[in-house]
Structure 1
Amino acid sequence: MATAKQMIALIKGHVLKDEEQFLSLALQVAASEARQGRQETADEIKKLVDKARSGSHPASATAIPMVRPRADLEDVVTASYPKTKLSDVVLGPAVADRLARLIRHQKQRKLLRDHGKRPMTHVLLVGPPGTGKSLSASAIAGELHLPLFRIRLDTLITRYLGDTASKLRLVFDQVHAVRGVYFFDEFDALGTQRNQAGEIGEMRRVLNSFLQFLEEENGTDSVIIGATNHPELLDRALFRRFGDVLRYVLPSDDEVVVLVQSLLDRRKSKSFDWEGIAKAGRGLSQADIVAATDDVLKDAILDGTAEVSAASIINALEMRRTSRDTASQL
């Protein structure tokens, strides 16, 4: 049954005529009922919420729901409403196909559920910085017309005993109540191996709690995304909790060319040294290539130049490489 606090919040939502808050709180009650083994009651509440939403918001299947993190999570979770699409991200074929599969599962989740199957909801993204992991999370939210909730691990993880696990419980209560894409960036800060030397007992308890939360039935089919630059630091048990693990790598020569082409639009000169650009971008991340090309475009705008040359792009890419090499030596 609903707790006294939940009842107060439900009544407040009704009095204030905040229908979205009222329905979101109802889903929280449903999630609580499901955790206590009262699945029939939980299903009945969810059906009523679905009926209310479909009746009052005919366009809800395509409109992005304007929701915010609950008040006690405002310092931990930030919400945004991306319009990014998968076509905006330059990815290797394998990663692009598997992300498309995740989106297909989500868009046809009712069909899968009707056949007794669970849609994919958990995915782990691993790879070097700047290779498109964060942008992919935005693209998934954009494709599904869902809010993107970023979990700020710097405020989630505290030095107070038990506080981190309590906040994590609140995050997953929202996962079960509000459908969205929940993005845990720099995931290794939370999922460090339990047997790692020097690891404190509190973080082991947090990780154990996190593993349990990932196992809970996800009635809203919210997407949970973890991203890390250091997969070697993650506890092995985490990999089994994710439906797919996608490895991001630095762009190939062809991907460097495609990325620069997509950024230049019609500003490139007629004769363009794409081979030279591919060579100059080799070993750089997507973020580096985007930043270098953007620098050239901004200079062209300020100089009143209608076109940019391949030489200017190559020079900017080489400067980025020098900057990276210098930073790594510090």
Structure 2
Amino acid sequence: MARGETLRRLFNSFSKDDRKEFRAAATQLIQEEKQKNHLLLAHDLERIMQKTTSQQFGSNHSPWEIYPEIPTDKETGLPLIDVLMPPLSWDRIILSDKNQKILEKIVIENRKFELLQSHNLTPASKILFCGSPGCGKTITAKVLAGVLERPLVYVNLSAIFSSFLGETAVNLTKIFDYVKTGEWVVFFDEFDAIAKDRNSNNEHGEIKRLVNSLLQLIDNSNCYQTLFIAATNYESLLDKAIWRRFDEIVFFDKPNYNLRLSLLRKNLSSIKHPSIDLNKFASRLKDTTGADIERICLDAIKSVILKGEDVLTSEDLEISVKHHSERMRIIKKRINFDEQSLENIRNE
């Protein structure tokens, strides 16, 4: 009888073009199938519903219309997450061979979830990205969402942290409860902010309680149809207990010569540059990240376009490289000044 009522609710909402009610009824139907242990059917229905709604509504509708109601912070009312549908594929990024193989394996496992489940196995579902800023952690998470054709849930850390005692852990719980509703790629950027080492002398009791809550949420998530990705620029700050919670750990190093050459070719592919020796520039840009090289190339291309020309020369690229070097000197000087000021405060 319950199934019949759910089906009536589903069809009535469809006839009235009531999208919110339709999703609620469809979600209820999926939960009923899960309770009957019809896991493969429930998984297929979830995947179809997510894919259909994202394709149907596209970018002209807000995520609140496409997906379940987004959780918010009780104090500020700010959304705790952003839901995106990145239209990206593997050709958007350039990775080392090692990382490419690791990530392709993760994608295959998640695509063949049903096959693994039939053998009482589960795909890698919790991944940690480590590496310097600008080495491709965020864009890689977006690419994985695009390749898997899943919505990307981007966790908004600025909204998670609350001034109310214990409310931050509540916000985390809301996010983990939310992702139980479907099949996602969930991205926690700057993960060290909520997973700091509990043994650090600089951390207070609230942070320690937050990490305890986070560990429990990760252990109890069991969302094998959702890929969790955490990213950090400072892996040394992470609590030791966090590391074993991840199925895979991917390190993003600064690109070597071959990767720098590939990045130059990719980022300059939109403009003619017959006279440029890219090998020379790849050799010079030793300490750059992928984001640095992209910025250098875009800066050079813009300067050519603004001059009304259509061919990039070595001189144009050289100017952009020098501009980047000056920019990095300013940034490093500012960082060193801030670090020295902080050290002086600690010693007072």
Verify the 8 A CA contact 1:64 1:146 in the aligned structure 2: no
Shift in Å, 1:259: 0.9
Verify the 8 A CA contact 1:77 1:150 in the aligned structure 2: yes
Verify the 8 A CA contact 2:46 2:183 in the aligned structure 1: no
What is the alpha-carbon distance in structure 1 between the residues aligned to residue 265 and residue 80 of structure 2?
Answer: 38
What is the alpha-carbon distance in structure 1 between the residues aligned to residue 79 and residue 201 of structure 2?
Answer: 30
Q: Check 1:189–1:59 CA distance in 2 against 1; reply closer, same or farther (3 A cut).
A: closer
Please show how residues 111-260 of structure 1 align to structure 2 within 5 Å: 111-219=115-223, 221-260=225-264
Residue 7 (structure 2) aligns with: none
Deviations 1:210-249, CA, capped at 9 Å, x for gaps = 1111112534510100000000000011110010111101
Match of 2:35 among 19, 32, 41: 41
- Greater mean deviation of Cα atoms: 214-223 or 89-98: 214-223
Q: Check 1:170–1:232 CA distance in 2 against 1; reply closer, same or farther (3 A cut).
A: same
Q: SS at the partner of 1:307? A: coil
Match of 2:310 among 306, 310, 321: 306
For the pair 1:288 / 2:287, whether they are aligned, the reply is no
Q: SS at the partner of 1:283? A: coil
Q: SS at the partner of 2:37? A: helix
- Greater mean deviation of Cα atoms: 72-81 or 162-171: 72-81
Verify the 8 A CA contact 1:292 1:316 in the aligned structure 2: yes
What is the alpha-carbon distance in structure 2 between the residues aligned to residue 101 and residue 126 of structure 1?
Answer: 18
Residue 26 (structure 2) aligns with: 23
Q: What percent of counterpart residues are identical?
A: 25
For the pair 1:77 / 2:81, whether they are aligned, the reply is yes
Q: Check 1:211–1:53 CA distance in 2 against 1; reply closer, same or farther (3 A cut).
A: closer
Q: Check 1:197–1:47 CA distance in 2 against 1; reply closer, same or farther (3 A cut).
A: same
Q: What TM-score does the superposition give when structure 1 sets the normalisation length?
A: 0.84
Residue 61 (structure 2) aligns with: none
What is the alpha-carbon distance in structure 2 between the residues aligned to residue 61 and residue 140 of structure 1?
Answer: 20
Shift in Å, 1:285: 1.1
Deviations 1:16-72, CA, capped at 9 Å, x for gaps = 453234334666x68xxxxxxxx973735x566446568x86975995997436243
1:20 maps to a residue whose letter is R
Match of 2:114 among 110, 114, 117: 110
Q: SS at the partner of 1:314? A: helix
Q: What TM-score does the superposition give when structure 2 sets the normalisation length?
A: 0.80
1:325 maps to a residue whose letter is R
Verify the 8 A CA contact 1:179 1:222 in the aligned structure 2: yes
What is the alpha-carbon distance in structure 2 between the residues aligned to residue 89 and residue 185 of structure 1?
Answer: 18
Shift in Å, 1:315: 2.8
What is the alpha-carbon distance in structure 2 between the residues aligned to residue 235 and residue 59 of structure 1?
Answer: 36
Q: Check 1:300–1:127 CA distance in 2 against 1; reply closer, same or farther (3 A cut).
A: same
Q: SS at the partner of 2:250? A: strand
Verify the 8 A CA contact 2:70 2:81 in the aligned structure 1: no
- Greater mean deviation of Cα atoms: 285-294 or 314-323: 314-323
For structure 1, the 5+ residue unaligned runs are 1-9, 31-38
Verify the 8 A CA contact 1:277 1:310 in the aligned structure 2: no
Q: SS at the partner of 1:72? A: coil
1:43 maps to a residue whose letter is N
Deviations 1:294-330, CA, capped at 9 Å, x for gaps = 0111111222211101332233123212211221112
Q: Check 1:178–1:150 CA distance in 2 against 1; reply closer, same or farther (3 A cut).
A: same
Q: SS at the partner of 2:153? A: strand
- Greater mean deviation of Cα atoms: 216-225 or 320-329: 216-225
What is the alpha-carbon distance in structure 2 between the residues aligned to residue 121 and residue 202 of structure 1?
Answer: 28
Q: Check 1:173–1:258 CA distance in 2 against 1; reply closer, same or farther (3 A cut).
A: same
Aligned length: 311
Shift in Å, 1:100: 0.9
What is the alpha-carbon distance in structure 2 between the residues aligned to residue 269 and residue 148 of structure 1?
Answer: 36
2:212 maps to a residue whose letter is N
Residue 68 (structure 1) aligns with: 67
Q: SS at the partner of 2:169? A: helix
Superposition RMSD in Å: 3.1
Shift in Å, 1:183: 0.4
Deviations 1:94-129, CA, capped at 9 Å, x for gaps = 111111111111111111111111101110000000
2:37 maps to a residue whose letter is D
Please show how residues 305-324 of structure 1 align to structure 2 within 5 Å: 305-324=309-328
Shift in Å, 1:257: 1.4
Verify the 8 A CA contact 2:189 2:230 in the aligned structure 1: yes
